[in-house]
Structure 1
Amino acid sequence: MKWIPWSALIESLAFLALGLMWLSLLVSKKYLLFVAPRLAPFLAFAAVCFCLWGLAGLVSLGQRHYQKRYWPLTVILIPVLLLAGPLLAKPALFTVTAQAPVAQGAAPAQAKPYGVDFSAVKDTGIDTQAKRITLTTENYYETMLTLTKHIDTYVGYDVYAIGFVSYANQPENGHDFTLARYLLFCCVNDITPFGPMCYYDGAEKLPEHQWIAVHGTLTKRNWHGLFQPAINVKAIEPAKEIAGYIYP
């Protein structure tokens, strides 16, 4: 009977499976559910290393220098099993969402609130000629950073943005809120609501986590000695939830 080093075979296949799983997460972009885009090169490098490690182990299986040790395999089998979940399940199961109950009789969410096609905006969303700012998933963090650095340049501009209502930061009065998106700086462990403060004189307090589209005027507020962009809200419309995160 031909001798088969089962522990070495399982170890090599596990390393190969782990590398292929990471490559699959990169190709399908499901890795964005867990880490920021700038970490993609490191994941690709690690995936290639694991694949080469697994292939090298398979090539050297015929050499009789292996010992039958199965308990160390748990170190590599555990991440293989953990990564199988994101690959096989729907992304929604691994995405942090902000949902609020829809009030009875509430207006349906529009595909283009205020006639603005947010998905068509591919740049910073700052139109200096029309004096208008459109915040989208792609430009949210970059544009907010630009507005913070040059706040006096853009005060008075019209602002269109979509996000969910957050009271994570203590509002200045009962109706003010943060128009937030979930910011993922490094990995899912540091997800936090991020967005501009909205000054709102509505008749009632908005439900937290409700997705809305806001039209207003850019202003600024003094937050512990630092001027930050804020929005004087003119109008609010229901909006559809936007899946995924924003990244710095």
Structure 2
Amino acid sequence: MLIELKSKDLLCLVKGALYSTLGICILYLIVTNQYKLYVSPRYELFLLLAGIATLCMGILTIAWAPPKQYKHIWKSIIPILLPIVLLVVPPILVPNTIQVQGVGAVTEDRNDFNFSQDDISEVITINNAAKEPGISKSKKEIVLNSDNYYQTIITMGSHPEEYIGYKLYMTGYVNRDDNTLKANEFTVSRMAMSCCIADVAPIGMTMHKDNGDTISNDEWVTIEGSVSTRNFHGRQQPYIEVQKIKNAEPVLGYVYP
């Protein structure tokens, strides 16, 4: 087998090895669920087929390599090598921010809205298991988690007046990138991915809390608030009056449409 490979063209063998490596990298990302750092979950099947096809291409390129040649254009391997480097060394491609920590890390949203152990004037205990995800009109309650986060915010933004007075519970990081924010206002956000890593952007809701300016930027918090509205460039926008707040563990990974 080794003698047979030695008689084949070196450039084709290198290309075959690189194609095979790229296919294995793609399949590894799917198996470990780390592909969600690069593309939306709805592309999982396409990515799986691409990984299998790339691996097969590598094997066939090696198997069908022509006899040894002595003139090679080595720069032709760059288009194959570049994605391998980007996938094998994730910090090059994955945003190195507090909102998405760790390489390939995705953690579950614990939805810990229990404020009973915190030093807050009004002590409440919330039974998470009994909560309906998203918007519950019967309870006048909105609970955001990783699964419904994007859709719930979009729904609220479409008809914010319908949810005035609802209790809202959510976890996210404090974001003050919006230059229209006033004193003691901040945004609680998560990083959203619509298609792929190229379109990652924060999505959240504007909050107000007495002494809100004392909350550190990029700090992860869980809040309980009351939904109201504000006028934002001529249209109504959800506006949350924060009633209770506590520190939270970062929820790693993205939210998706």
2:138 alignment counterpart: 129
1:174 alignment counterpart: 183
Letter in 2 for 1:113: N
Instruction: After TM superposition, give the deviation of residue 72 of structure 1 in Å.
Output: 1.4
2:254 alignment counterpart: 245
Asked if the contact 2:10/2:68 (under 8 Å) is kept, the reply is no
CA distance in 2, matches of 1:82, 1:97: 20
Asked if the contact 1:157/1:217 (under 8 Å) is kept, the reply is yes
1:29 alignment counterpart: 33
Within-5 A mapping of 1:90-105: 96-98=97-99
Q: Runs ≥4 in structure 1, deviation > 6 angstroms?
A: none
Query: What 5-or-longer segments of structure 2 have no aligned partner?
Result: 101-110, 116-124
Within-5 A mapping of 1:155-166: 155-166=164-175
1:197 alignment counterpart: 206
CA distance in 2, matches of 1:204, 1:23: 45
CA distance in 2, matches of 1:165, 1:94: 17
1:17 alignment counterpart: 21
> How far does the alpha carbon of each residue in 1:68-94 deviate from its partner, in whole angstroms, 9 at most, with x for none?
4233123212322322224xx9xxx86
Letter in 2 for 1:16: S
**SS of aligned partner of 1:18:** helix
> How far does the alpha carbon of each residue in 1:1-46 deviate from its partner, in whole angstroms, 9 at most, with x for none?
7523221111111111111211111121111112222333332232
Q: Bigger shift: 2-11 or 213-222?
A: 2-11
CA distance 1:121–1:195, shift in 2 (3 Å): farther
Aligned length: 232
CA distance 1:26–1:210, shift in 2 (3 Å): same
2:217 is the alignment partner of 1:216: no
Q: Percent of pairs identical after alignment?
A: 29
2:85 alignment counterpart: 81
**SS of aligned partner of 2:29:** helix
CA distance in 2, matches of 1:84, 1:121: 42
**Aligned Cα RMSD in Å?**
2.9
1:64 alignment counterpart: 67
Within-5 A mapping of 1:134-149: 134-149=143-158
Query: What 5-or-longer segments of structure 1 have no aligned partner?
Result: 100-109
> How far does the alpha carbon of each residue in 1:202-227 deviate from its partner, in whole angstroms, 9 at most, with x for none?
27532111111111111122222332
Instruction: After TM superposition, give the deviation of residue 246 of structure 1 in Å.
Output: 1.3
Asked if the contact 1:95/1:244 (under 8 Å) is kept, the reply is no
Letter in 1 for 2:143: T
Instruction: After TM superposition, give the deviation of residue 133 of structure 1 in Å.
Output: 0.7
Asked if the contact 1:171/1:177 (under 8 Å) is kept, the reply is no
Asked if the contact 2:10/2:69 (under 8 Å) is kept, the reply is no
TM-score for the superposition, normalised by structure 2: 0.78
